Amino acid sequence: MTGSSQAQLPAPTLHALREQRAVAATAAAWLTAQHGSEIERHHAVVTAAVNDAVERLQQNVERISGGNSFCRDLVTMAGDYLHWLSWTAWDLPQLALVVQPDPQRFRDDLSASVLVYFSGRLLDDYLDRHFLYRARRETLLARLARERGDGAEAEALSVLMSLLLCFEGLRNARAGAQLDTILESARGLLVGILMERSGTAEWSGEFYERLIRLKNVDYWRILYAALDAEERSPLYPFLCRYYALAQKLNDLQDPARDAQQGRPNAVSIYHGDVAAIIATDLLELGQMASELDEPARSIALTKLGESHDEAERLGLFGDAPPAPAPPARLELFWHSEYAEFYARAGAGAFETTGCPICGSAPSSPIFHKQGFAYQRCPRCTHIYVAPRLRPEVQKRLGDELDAASEDEFLQTQKIYADYLCRLLRKHANGPRLLDVGYGSGYLLRTARAHGFDVYGVETSRALTSKLDAMLGRNLAVAHLGEGELPWGSFDVIVMTHVLEHIAEPRPVLAQLLAALNPGGVLYLAVPDSDSWQFRIFGKEWDAVNPVAHYQFFNETSLTHALRESQFESISRVQMPPLKGKLRQRWMNLFRSLGGDESGELRLLGRRPRD
Ligand SMILES: [Zn+2]
């Protein structure tokens, strides 16, 4: 990036760009939460289509050549490269959300489009002497040159393989709109490649815009023809302009190389105006995005977010700070000590707080565990960790330990699930049930058996993917308090052993209230600081964990929190004694003391009827 393409943009433009970037980040999070599993399914189709295309190519060449080993080796080498290139088609799964293609037809059509698309890649590798693709993997050209020790021969073979892929793809294409679009776009691409070689005398803004429409937008259309050959998607006009913008940003990466080769580049054509031109593109594209319906709107904004990331990486808009380096892994655990977090993540890993329930100032700690101090609020009796890990550090740890993150405590939920579902049936006004932090999904399955229409959110991607096959569309990865829940209008929300993990429970309770229908029911379960378990085992009770659990409620403090968040009809739920094999002798002790087996505090609250 040369200094000449950086410019001081007017403050209102910079402000609008910053706002757009924030909106784009929210949209991207929403899209993942709401449609993540559907995108994954389309993604699987893309992977399968590339496999189909490569396999058919190999079979056809085998048949046509009568098993010629030279042809076979060549096509095998090309196949390796194509498998690796399949990530270049990974925009399609998101775009498929809008088009909703029939999976089999999408797979068939894509196996045609990808080959023509990849033939363009091989041609480009040859023309621009790409030996490394994105500095990561050797191209087919490079491998041929290496294995055959003859550059000219490797170039000839690359061009021939490019033609072979192109014809094989056209042979597979569906007659009608798909074939027509591919032919028209491929022709445009070739004219663009020729135009790129014209002398500087012809270069102008108009020339450049036409060039990237042919070289980049038409190139992308070859692939897109597998999804939406008639170009009916409401996203299509946005995408055409977006892929032109993507090339302008791409040009900024290495304008010197293009200058050396005498190739047109956004920097050499627009000079110092390039930042302003890209800013205009972004803002106008943002306007186009805002006029779309969901999910097209969020897909468009997500793409714009990627452009913003790129612009920032290039320092295009001047004032943007460089992206922080990704933090090193913590390599710590839920039972790690305060001092270990300090050593790994520094003083910035911690924050101090007053009572998260009533806001009173902390006094002196009542005990320590793992080096963390526990405070008891003199006003509402809530027990909490202060100073505590910053929530982002806790989340980082959670992400690192994702695969193993199911709370031991959730096991006890299985025992009570059936009883709880019967109880909820009695209290609920309707069937829509959301389980926040559903863990292994046991309650979701039980609730479904009781006739509830079940939805779940979970912070753990590993736990979500386990249940995808069964509940796919109704599950989402989401962090409470960050952005909106993907759904609303629930009759019941269940949240067991989640609230104690959360740094600021009050906004989360407000969010849950908003997600309930008037008269809807919230069921909360948390470890109880008034339980006999805590009285007997003290801080050795395994529910006392300052890294995982910031909050330690009792009935008084949790009732206070619910009231302050506008819940009403708050009542405590007792579970019946366990029977038969589940009942163990130690449980009698807690029952005889007036407690129960789990040491849980369970409350029901209701959203007022408006
Ligand atoms: Zn308090």
Closest-CA residue to 412 (of 451, 440, 448, 371): 440
**In angstroms, what is the span from residue 557 Cα to ligand 1's centroid?**
7
Of 96-105, 457-466, 555-564, where does mean pLDDT reach its minimum? 457-466
Helix (H) or strand (E) holding 157: helix 151-172
Kindly tell me the number of DSSP H helices and DSSP E strands found in the chain: 23, 15
Q: Cα(217) to centroid of ligand 1, in Å?
A: 59
Q: Are strands 388-389 and 383-385 parallel, antiparallel or unpaired?
A: unpaired
Question: What is the structure's pLDDT at 467?
Answer: 64
Which residues, listed in sequence order, are joined to residue 601 by a DSSP beta bridge?
Answer: 526
Confidence bin at 347 (pLDDT 50/70/90): confident
Taking the centre of ligand 1 as the mean of its atom positions, its distance from the CA of residue 354, in whole angstroms, is: 8
Query: Given a cut of 60, is residue 201 above it in pLDDT?
Result: yes
pLDDT tens digit string along 404-461?
Answer: 445 555 566 677 888 899 999 999 999 999 999 887 788 888 898 888 889 988 876 6
pTM above threshold 0.75: no
What is the CA(50)–ligand 1 centre distance, in A?
59
Could you tell me which residue, 222 or 594, shows the higher pLDDT?
222
Residue 327 is predicted with a pLDDT of 63
Read off the tokens for 265: 């580049």
Residue 472 has pLDDT above 70, yes or no: no
Q: How far apart are CA 497 and CA 514, in angstroms?
A: 20
Q: 503: number of CA atoms within 13 Å, CB side? A: 18
Q: Mean per-residue pLDDT for 177-184?
A: 95
**540: exposed, middle or buried (C-beta count within 10 Å: 0-12, 13-18, 19+)?**
exposed
Question: Residue 29 Cα, ligand 1 centroid: separation in angstroms?
Answer: 33
Q: Tokens at residue 52, please?
A: 């189909």
In angstroms, rounded to a whole number, what is the distance separating the alpha carbons of residues 112 and 49?
A: 9
pLDDT, residue 527, reads 94
- Residue 363, pLDDT above cutoff 50: yes
Residue 2 has pLDDT above 50, yes or no: no
Mean pLDDT for the chain overall: 86
Q: What is the mean pLDDT of residues 524-537?
A: 91
Q: What distances in angstroms separate CA 3 from CA 203, 277, 311, 321, one per listed residue?
A: 22, 16, 14, 16
Strands (E) in 121-220, as ranges, are: 132-133, 137-138
pLDDT of residue 460: 67
Cα angle: 182, vertex 188, 192; to 5 degrees: 140
- Strands 383-385, 137-138: pairing is unpaired
Alpha helices in 86-218 (DSSP H): 92-99, 103-127, 140-148, 151-172, 177-195, 205-212
Residue 395, beta-bridge partner list: none
Rounded to the nearest whole angstrom, what is the distance from the C-alpha of residue 599 to the centroid of ligand 1?
21
Residue 196 has pLDDT above 60, yes or no: yes
pLDDT given at position 268: 86
Answer whether residue 134 shows pLDDT above 60. Answer: no
**The predicted structure's pLDDT at residue 191:** 97
Alpha helices, H only, 458-599? 461-471, 505-515, 532-537, 555-564, 585-592
Q: What mean pLDDT is predicted for residues 235-244? A: 95
323: confidence class by pLDDT, cuts 50, 70, 90: very low
Average pLDDT rounded to a whole number, residues 232-255: 92
Q: Is the pLDDT reported for residue 326 higher than 60?
A: no
Closest by alpha carbon to 277, among 311, 302, 239? Answer: 311
Residue 438: what pLDDT?
A: 82
Q: What is the pLDDT of residue 309?
A: 85
Does residue 57 have a pLDDT over 80?
Answer: yes
- Which pLDDT band, with edges at 50, 70 and 90, does 315 fall under? confident
How far apart CA 67 and CA 405 sit, in angstroms, is 52
Quote the ligand 1 centre to 360 CA distance (angstroms): 5
CA of 509 to the centre of ligand 1 (A): 16
Measured distance CA(134)–CA(124) in Å, rounded = 13
Q: What pLDDT was estimated at residue 409? A: 54
User: Taking ligand 1, which is a single-atom ion, which protein residues have CB atoms under 5 Å away?
Assistant: 355, 357-358, 360, 377, 379-380, 382
CA 375 to ligand 1 center in whole angstroms: 10
8 vs 70: which has the higher pLDDT: 70
Could you give the CA distance from residue 49 to residue 107 in angstroms, rounded to a whole number? 5
Rg (CA), the chain: 30
What is the C-alpha separation between 606 and 565, in angstroms, rounded?
Answer: 11
Confidence (pLDDT) at 9: 82
Output the CA 355–ligand 1 centroid distance in Å. Answer: 5
pLDDT of residue 582: 60
pLDDT at 606: 96
Show the tokens assigned to 18: 């910053």
Of 413, 402, 418, nearest to 436 by C-alpha is 413
Q: What are phi and psi of 372, to 5 degrees?
A: -95, 145
pLDDT at 583 (0 to 100): 63
DSSP 8-state code for residue 582: G
- The three-class DSSP label of residue 128 is coil
Least confidently predicted of 215-224, 338-347, 486-495: 338-347
Distance in Å, CA 361 to ligand 1 centroid: 8
**567 CA distance to ligand 1 centroid (A)?**
18
Report the amino acid identity of residue 476.
A
Separation between Cα atoms, residue 204 and residue 320, nearest integer Å: 29
CB-CB contact of 188 with 128 (8 Å): no
Distance in Å, CA 362 to ligand 1 centroid: 9
Q: Are 549 and 557 in contact (CB under 8 A)?
A: no
Q: What's the mean pLDDT in 250-278?
A: 85
pLDDT value at 7 more than 60: no
Q: How far is the CA of 478 from the centre of ligand 1 (A)?
A: 28
Residue 285 has pLDDT above 60, yes or no: yes
Q: How far is CA 102 from CA 56, 172, 174, 605, in A?
A: 21, 18, 14, 44
Q: Who contacts 275 (Cβ-Cβ below 8 Å, separation ≥6)? A: 5, 6, 7, 9, 316, 317, 318
Residue 3: what pLDDT? 43
**Other residues' Cβ atoms within 10 Å of the Cβ of residue 231:** 16
Would the pLDDT of 5 be above 50? no
What percentage of the chain has pLDDT greater than the value 90? 49
pLDDT tens string 571-585: 999 887 766 666 666
Token match 């009568």: residue? 66
What is the whole-number distance in angstroms between the Cα of residue 566 and the centre of ligand 1? 17
What is the band of 128 on the pLDDT scale with cuts at 50, 70, 90? confident
In angstroms, rounded to a whole number, what is the distance separating the alpha carbons of residues 596 and 412?
12
Question: Ligand 1 center to residue 337 CA distance, Å?
Answer: 26
Instruction: Decide if 278 contacts 312 (C-beta within 8 A).
Output: no
∠ CA 589-595-597, nearest 5°, is 70
Task: Please report, as a single letter, which amino acid is at residue 38.
Answer: E
Ligand 1 midpoint to CA 538 (Å): 21
Say if residues 176 and 225 touch (Cβ distance below 8 Å). no
Tokens of residue 425, six digits: 């049936």
Lowest mean per-residue pLDDT among 182-191, 232-241, 457-466, 474-483: 457-466
For ligand 1, the distance from its centroid to the CA atom of residue 378, given in whole angstroms, is 7
Residues 215, 217, 218, CA angle at the centre, nearest 5°? 70
pLDDT at res. 412: 62
- Tell me the CA end-to-end span of the chain in Å, nearest whole number: 58
With cut-offs at 50, 70 and 90, classify the pLDDT of residue 359: confident
Report the C-alpha gap between 268 and 271 in whole angstroms.
5
Rounded distance from Cα 279 to ligand 1 centre (Å): 49
Residue 295 preceded by cis peptide, ω within 30: yes
- Which of 186-195, 264-273, 301-310, 510-519 is least confident? 264-273
